[in-house]
Chains A and B, each alone.
Chain A
């Protein structure tokens, strides 16, 4: 086989790289170096380039790659993904590598332990390229709330890459990494996937360990894969999923066999699968706020599902229109409690310690005032308000009841449908700055992704085509612990869309401009 160029290597899927590595056509060092070169070429920093990464670990990634190559040369058994590089969202604890959550309060913090999912990545020997940018503490839909500056969308550097996991999605879309880890509390894996033309999966709540994830809203947070293909998402999901005794909310048993489901689905046959169109999420009569081209791409995807043999039914989920309101009470409530740990005593920023009049309370207050950004403050204030005596029942209590109603809507819908589908986000990527001054407008991006978090059910976003030259996504939802269905239906749809497009959607993306400045990573 002819030698592969770096440009070819970075455009390969993780599954293709795994096969090239297993056949020893390329070395893990070559694959890793090709991605590091790509990052040096396009990532830049807060002022120019994509700014998908906050921290790079070139030495660590290459050391892992050398280790994999040595093992393979020695004929040792290695994990199929060994040597395939990965990027990790900066909300996931990585021992010896900065973890900032996009916040100034954690600038330079280096965790003393690995998240369980990182332990699994290291055990399988995937070179970890670095940590990706995000909205501060995962609060946002654009990465503009990162204290280190926004990430830019590789399709158009003037636009948002989605959020909160815009760094992971932009890294995957721009071929800086074939795989990335995201976390999804209200859509932070799926919405960035939709607006960057990539694949993102939020597994069933409890399907991937939360141990070592810096908590935003503990009853909603879930880590999952960010990739360019459905099969790659399955390979990564299966690696990081499965029970973890260190997370009391972790589901019992191993990860579901989503790889087999993705391979089965790739044949393109969905005979007998019942697909529900959610009336309230861009369905008949509920299209307000949805971009017409996003809806057109969605309708075309549904036609592909029909052609694949699926039976299409419309389902009503009447309480989904209350889900956004419930989410923006439950999330701030849980976040205000979780973020109380940033008290300037044990780690992170401390402000005002030198003042002779300093007390713990004054230092905490000064530190939080200086260390948290505006969106984090907004949500902490909202959360403490919603939980306060006198308002608790009317706000937090009512939101918890809506959560029950949303779960009942899902239960009823899954009586008549095996999976549900909707557009992932109502619009393609908007312009940087466009929604910063209007928090409610920003929150509306999550209208279709939030119900899954409230109910704990799994969801996938995959590209459905272009809307005004920018990517749009289709979301697939399945019942809790039926993640396999996402992969079967997603792979079947992906196969038909690729045939329609004559190749991956990302082939339609213009070249990402090179930046010549050497990347200066703020947290390094």
Chain B
């Protein structure tokens, strides 16, 4: 895969040919800012639904492997 990645990187580096300092960057097709919705309570996913696909479950919680390495 390393060879393929190098090939792709060499090809996509083409963007640098025209990306001058005077060109502004665009991150999104729409000029949207701060879309707000009314701050009203509404039903959310039930715990059983949210946990239905959990790889491991303990009560109403996701059971996950140890977070910290042992020293």
From residue 16 to 58 of chain B, which have CB atoms closer than 8 A to chain A?
16-20, 23-30, 32, 35, 37, 45, 49-50, 52-56
From residue 398 to 441 of chain A, which have CB atoms closer than 8 A to chain B?
398-405, 407, 439-440
- The answer to whether B68 touches A359 (Cβ under 8 A) is yes
- Closest A residue by C-beta to B27: A400
Known: A112-B49, A322-B15, A362-B65. A347 touches B23 (CB 8 A): no
- The answer to whether A382 touches B9 (Cβ under 8 A) is yes
- The answer to whether A440 touches B68 (Cβ under 8 A) is no
CB-CB < 8 A to B7: which residues of A? Answer: 439-440
- The answer to whether A328 touches B55 (Cβ under 8 A) is no
Residue pairs across A and B with Cβ atoms less than 8 A apart, 11 shown, are A112-B49, A112-B52, A353-B55, A358-B65, A359-B66, A359-B67, A381-B5, A398-B19, A401-B20, A401-B26, A456-B30
- The answer to whether A325 touches B25 (Cβ under 8 A) is no
Question: With an 8 A cutoff between CB atoms, is A510 at the interface?
Answer: no
Interface class of chain B by DSSP:
loop
How far, in angstroms, from A455 to B27 measured CA to CA in the complex? 10
CB-CB < 8 A to B49: which residues of A? Answer: 112-113
Contact count band on A: 35 or more
Question: With an 8 A cutoff between CB atoms, is A273 at the interface?
Answer: no
Question: With an 8 A cutoff between CB atoms, is A286 at the interface?
Answer: no
- The answer to whether B55 touches A112 (Cβ under 8 A) is no
Chain B nearest Cβ from A389, distance in angstroms: 17
How far, in angstroms, from A444 to B19 measured CA to CA in the complex? 21
- Closest B residue by C-beta to A457: B29
Question: With an 8 A cutoff between CB atoms, is A110 at the interface?
Answer: yes
Known: A346-B62, A440-B7. A109 touches B53 (CB 8 A): yes
- The answer to whether B1 touches A353 (Cβ under 8 A) is no
Question: With an 8 A cutoff between CB atoms, is A290 at the interface?
Answer: no
Q: Which B positions have Cβ atoms within 8 angstroms of A?
A: 1, 4-5, 7-9, 11-20, 23-30, 32, 35, 37, 45, 49-50, 52-56, 62, 64-69
From residue 367 to 397 of chain A, which have CB atoms closer than 8 A to chain B?
374, 377-378, 381-382, 385, 394-395, 397
- The answer to whether B29 touches A480 (Cβ under 8 A) is yes
- The answer to whether B25 touches A397 (Cβ under 8 A) is yes
Chain B nearest Cβ from A104, distance in angstroms: 14
CB-CB < 8 A to A480: which residues of B? Answer: 29
Of B17, B32, B52, the residue contacting A322 (CB under 8 A) is B17
Question: With an 8 A cutoff between CB atoms, is A299 at the interface?
Answer: no
How far, in angstroms, from A439 to B3 measured CA to CA in the complex? 11
- The answer to whether A344 touches B55 (Cβ under 8 A) is yes
- The answer to whether A328 touches B65 (Cβ under 8 A) is no
Question: With an 8 A cutoff between CB atoms, is A329 at the interface?
Answer: yes
CB-CB < 8 A to B23: which residues of A? Answer: 401, 404-405
0/1 per residue, A49-62, Cβ < 8 Å to B? 00000000000000
CB-CB < 8 A to A274: which residues of B? Answer: none
- Closest A residue by C-beta to B23: A401
- The answer to whether B19 touches A110 (Cβ under 8 A) is no
Question: With an 8 A cutoff between CB atoms, is A219 at the interface?
Answer: yes
